[in-house]
A = this chain, B = another copy of it.
Amino acid sequence: MTNIKLQPKPDAPTKSVPLTFDALKVACSQCNLRELCLPLGMTEDEMVRVDTLVGARRKIKRGHHLYRAGDPFEAIYAVKTGFFKTDVLIEDGRDQVTGFLMAGELLGLDGISSETHTCNAVALEDSEVCLIPYEELERLSSEVRTLQRHFHKVMSREIVREHGVMMLLGTMRAEERLAAFLLNLSQRFTARGYSPTEFHLRMTREEIGSYLGLKLETVSRAFSRFQEEGLINVQQKYVHILDYERLRHLLSRCPA
């Protein structure tokens, strides 16, 4: 059984080296995120094999890229700590944030199709990811059935998530979009043991707007409106949901 102690955080002034590789292997079996990353019900033996799959960790400083569109695809990444956004750019400068990712979520699935990353992944706070070499994942998942099934489910879940975003972008108005966004964050924070009603946004209004298909001013106005209505308390990046139910109700199309 692999047993590796977590390295102490140096948090050193490595300012000129934003991407640091950590030679230490990390044991998934010991990780407190394993229920998020891995299937339930693996045997001890399977677990040991998964421990060999996940490679080094990698630290990404806030504002730095984990990968960029065009980079060769070699691995997927599991967020260990921190917060990321992914976005797609087109020539004329437009960009679309396609997702925000937090602990236990997987980055890089888009790269499998063309063996090249098709979007950018940027850390929104100092973060750490686990590196999962794709070749090895393929090999192991053909041997460990529960892993294969799990990986397929993760990919499928991403497709379903994106359907939700399409619904949001295609049919909802500004305030509905923001409500859906806040509720989704709330739910994901809850699943990670944080407060469902109080959290810090890691992204700017502009990034929220890009994700929601709105301009930053519209996002800001929607926040202010929610505050006026007593739905939330918002102070810059700090958000406190005061009336969860009424926020949910906003999504059921009862035009105020």
Bound-complex Cα distance A172 to B92 (A)? 12
Q: Does A38 contact B (CB under 8 A)?
A: no
Contact status A96-B167, CB under 8 Å: yes
Query: Which of A142, A145, A148 counts the most B-chain CB atoms under 10 A from its CB?
Result: A142
Nearest-CB distance from A24 to chain B (Å)?
Answer: 28
Bound-complex Cα distance A157 to B155 (A)? 11
Q: Does A225 contact B (CB under 8 A)?
A: no
Interface of chain A: mostly helix, strand, loop or mixed: helix
Bound-complex Cα distance A95 to B96 (A)? 22
Q: Which of A139-182 contact B (CB under 8 A)?
A: 141-143, 145, 148-149, 152-160, 162-167, 169-172
Bound-complex Cα distance A243 to B96 (A)? 28
Contact status A159-B110, CB under 8 Å: yes
Contact status A167-B90, CB under 8 Å: yes
Chain B residues within an 8 Å CB radius of A33: none
Chain B residues within an 8 Å CB radius of A154: 113
Given contacts A93-B253, A148-B142, A213-B170, contact A98 B156 (CB under 8 A): no
Given contacts A92-B253, A156-B155, contact A166 B163 (CB under 8 A): no
Q: Which of A96-113 contact B (CB under 8 A)?
A: 96, 98, 109-113
Contact status B88-A163, CB under 8 Å: yes
How many residues on the A side are at the interface (Cβ–Cβ under 8 A)?
49
Contact status A98-B138, CB under 8 Å: no
Chain B residues within an 8 Å CB radius of A212: 170
Report which A residues bind B (CB closer than 8 A): 88, 90-96, 98, 109-114, 118-119, 138, 141-143, 145, 148-149, 152-160, 162-167, 169-172, 210-213, 252-253
| In the A-B complex, the 10 residue pairs with the closest CB atoms | A112-B156, A170-B213, A92-B253, A113-B156, A169-B169, A162-B162, A113-B157, A142-B142, A96-B167, A155-B155
26 A-B contact pairs sorted by A residue (CB < 8 Å):
A88-B166, A90-B171, A93-B253, A94-B167, A96-B170, A96-B171, A98-B166, A110-B156, A110-B159, A111-B156, A112-B156, A113-B153, A113-B156, A113-B157, A118-B160, A119-B163, A138-B149, A141-B142, A141-B148, A142-B143, A158-B159, A159-B159, A162-B162, A162-B165, A166-B169, A169-B169
